[in-house]
A and B are shown apart, each in its own frame.
Chain A
């Protein structure tokens, strides 16, 4: 018999947590401040208002052992403007990436590969080719790796949004 934290599963896990918060001043800083003050990690964070409501949804990708994830959920719940915290188990996750390539790269190959990742060429200017793709976070990561050979100039990821199935 023992009750102490080393009995927790100490394996690091990745978790996607949705936080429904009141739209008010400072609310994002409360969330982010909690993570920094207590030494928790944020891998990505997205925020947008929930249509026709006074709330916003914040989607946070984090990692830690079971004890840390439990504490993250509880500590978030403690914040006054937080309505609900959902630790996703079975969800659809989407991440978007924008990549800029020099104009002299092979545009047709870029296009073919982008399509394989639910993406496409968005824009072409005198200097650059712009591609976007929206897919699961791991596939977006693969896509970025694959695209390295076309010498990307800039890569911008949106962070994850998720919805429970």
Chain B
């Protein structure tokens, strides 16, 4: 059947099971929007900025595990989307982003709203397409969804010139992809696995180091099983929060720059580091030549390029984590391991000696960590927690009791301020039975504040909790610690009235100074089912601790009271 390119776009999304699309129309993409108007396969959510459309699709993808979809127009529409693409790319999030392009005959003439979109998106997407011929559209969509969601996932960008949305072609959606050049390795090498298990047999202090890949591979069950069956302690990266579950006795917390003392000491003392879908990011390892210095390394990852990039593992295994762990658990049935009780005990002692904690403030100001704990206490498993970027992000990672993977939605690799609210919007749309909570700061929230309106329009009850310290807190912390307190451009004393602001956008606002008021506000916010903003005035000079200063080893932590 002949169809216009625009209709083919809609039908292709329908074939891929898309239930929601986030986007913003414009000249070059108008034909597609005209078809969106006529269809009823999926909901379209109009964000108020293209960056937010991408983050919303991203948050939706992170929370649901499905492929997120966003549509933008050419030129500025697309350049606004780039931050969202880069954010998703750094954290390997499966997404398909469609952009309009000027008509093919205009391409290259500096036409109105023209930009070399595929040129710009190349370094921040897993793959991209410029579809000049309408006949290619079904194949490209099939490939795009396949590439986005297989192997190491990532965003795929499809740029479509306006004439290709008008021209007609037969619509036959391919059943299978034909990509002879793209074949991700999913099964781990058995011999390599055996060698790794032999090393495990000899190890006295093995440590499971869990990265974001564990979330993407949906293998939390297998990891918990591995830890439990062998009694091996585990640590999580920021991106892996929730994989082990906060109440798991074998979890020693998050490691890295703001990791827990026990987790960082575990990484320092282990003799066998079992890296599962982690990539040895510099925020995790601290000084690299001191990281897990005495350890052999088993590195399991689906991306061969992640292996050997920073650390040369003794036992590299390329494959999908879930597959490899299944084989590993099978093989472990026949293996006798050393009893690691004393190693676990050693770490437990570290944890008791230096637990995550904070001091109450002398003047009665609310501590930001308390707010996180309190939300965890009240909402716990019911909430899916998003964050922006900064101190509040680290406190959320440290103090929220995460119980399951995909419960914590945060921009890890790129560290994108302005991510939280739109991502939480995507979460609210994708996880209707959960409460979507966004912890944010007084700096971050202003970077995509216009999305409060989108929340109102589409009844997405995101609860934004603004930890207001009137600073760009994380930068202020560094300035205090490493720049002799020269607070260059981080004082945010001049601020809008957040309560009025959210009310202007049709939501509810609360400004709280006391713990009692916060509890009342949170309860009211949850019950209201509206987009809300709870502005909490917190202790201005609170620092995120522990902290491993830049260029130091993980055992050289600044702890509470050391500042």
Whole-angstrom CA separation of A2 from B288 in the bound complex? 11
11 A–B contacts, CB within 8 A, in A order: A1-B294, A3-B312, A4-B289, A4-B310, A8-B312, A26-B130, A33-B123, A74-B304, A74-B309, A81-B181, A83-B181
In the assembled complex, the CB of B261 is this many whole angstroms from the nearest CB of chain A, namely: 23
Judge if B137 is at the interface, Cβ distance under 8 Å.
no
Whole-angstrom CA separation of A25 from B161 in the bound complex? 15
In the assembled complex, the CB of A118 is this many whole angstroms from the nearest CB of chain B, namely: 36
B288–A4 contact, CB under 8 A?
yes
In the assembled complex, the CB of A93 is this many whole angstroms from the nearest CB of chain B, namely: 26
Judge if B122 is at the interface, Cβ distance under 8 Å.
yes
Whole-angstrom CA separation of A67 from B289 in the bound complex? 15
Return chain A residues, CB-CB under 8 Å to B303.
78
B308–A70 contact, CB under 8 A?
yes
In the assembled complex, the CB of B272 is this many whole angstroms from the nearest CB of chain A, namely: 11
> Across the A-B interface, how many residue pairs have beta carbons closer than 8 Å?
65
Judge if A6 is at the interface, Cβ distance under 8 Å.
yes
Residue of A nearest to B156 (CB): A80
Which 6 residue pairs are nearest across A and B when measured between Cβ atoms? A74-B305, A80-B127, A83-B181, A37-B123, A4-B289, A3-B297
Return chain A residues, CB-CB under 8 Å to B309.
71, 74
B181–A3 contact, CB under 8 A?
no
Return chain A residues, CB-CB under 8 Å to B313.
3
Residues in chain B within 8 A of chain A (CB atoms): 118-119, 122-123, 126-128, 130, 132, 147, 179-182, 288-289, 291-297, 303-305, 308-314
Additional pairs, 14, CB under 8 Å, beyond known A25-B132, A67-B308, A71-B308: A1-B296, A3-B292, A3-B311, A3-B312, A5-B311, A26-B118, A29-B119, A33-B122, A74-B308, A78-B303, A78-B304, A80-B126, A80-B179, A80-B182
Residue of B nearest to A72 (CB): B305
Return chain B residues, CB-CB under 8 Å to A78.
303-305
A5–B130 contact, CB under 8 A?
no
Residue of A nearest to B310 (CB): A5
Return chain A residues, CB-CB under 8 Å to B180.
83
Whole-angstrom CA separation of A81 from B179 in the bound complex? 8
Chain A interface bracket (under 10, 10 to 19, 20 to 34, 35 or more): 20 to 34
Residue of A nearest to B147 (CB): A80
Determine which of B127, B130, B182, B314 lies in contact with A3 in the assembled complex, contact meaning CB atoms within 8 Å. Answer: B314
Judge if A22 is at the interface, Cβ distance under 8 Å.
yes
Return chain A residues, CB-CB under 8 Å to B181.
21-22, 80-83
Whole-angstrom CA separation of A29 from B179 in the bound complex? 20
Whole-angstrom CA separation of A94 from B182 in the bound complex? 31
Return chain B residues, CB-CB under 8 Å to A83.
180-181
Judge if A120 is at the interface, Cβ distance under 8 Å.
no
Determine which of A3, A21, A25 lies in contact with B296 in the assembled complex, contact meaning CB atoms within 8 Å. Answer: A3
A26–B308 contact, CB under 8 A?
no
Whole-angstrom CA separation of A75 from B306 in the bound complex? 9
Whole-angstrom CA separation of A21 from B119 in the bound complex? 18
Return chain A residues, CB-CB under 8 Å to B123.
33, 37
Residue interface mask A59-84, B partner, CB < 8 A = 1: 00000000100110011011011110
Judge if A115 is at the interface, Cβ distance under 8 Å.
no
Judge if A14 is at the interface, Cβ distance under 8 Å.
no
Whole-angstrom CA separation of A144 from B132 in the bound complex? 45
Residue of B nearest to A54 (CB): B180
Whole-angstrom CA separation of A5 from B291 in the bound complex? 12
B122–A29 contact, CB under 8 A?
yes
From B130, B181, B295, residue with most partner A Cβ within 10 Å: B181
Residue of A nearest to B124 (CB): A37
Whole-angstrom CA separation of A7 from B314 in the bound complex? 13
B289–A6 contact, CB under 8 A?
yes
Return chain A residues, CB-CB under 8 Å to B291.
4
Residue of B nearest to A83 (CB): B181
From A2, A3, A8, residue with most partner B Cβ within 10 Å: A3
Return chain B residues, CB-CB under 8 Å to A71.
305, 308-309
Residue interface mask A1-32, B partner, CB < 8 A = 1: 11111111000000000000110011001100
Whole-angstrom CA separation of A7 from B289 in the bound complex? 10
Whole-angstrom CA separation of A25 from B289 in the bound complex? 42
Whole-angstrom CA separation of A101 from B257 in the bound complex? 62
From A1, A25, A30, A78, residue with most partner B Cβ within 10 Å: A78
In the assembled complex, the CB of A49 is this many whole angstroms from the nearest CB of chain B, namely: 16
A30–B312 contact, CB under 8 A?
no
Return chain A residues, CB-CB under 8 Å to B288.
4-5
Return chain A residues, CB-CB under 8 Å to B122.
26, 29-30, 33
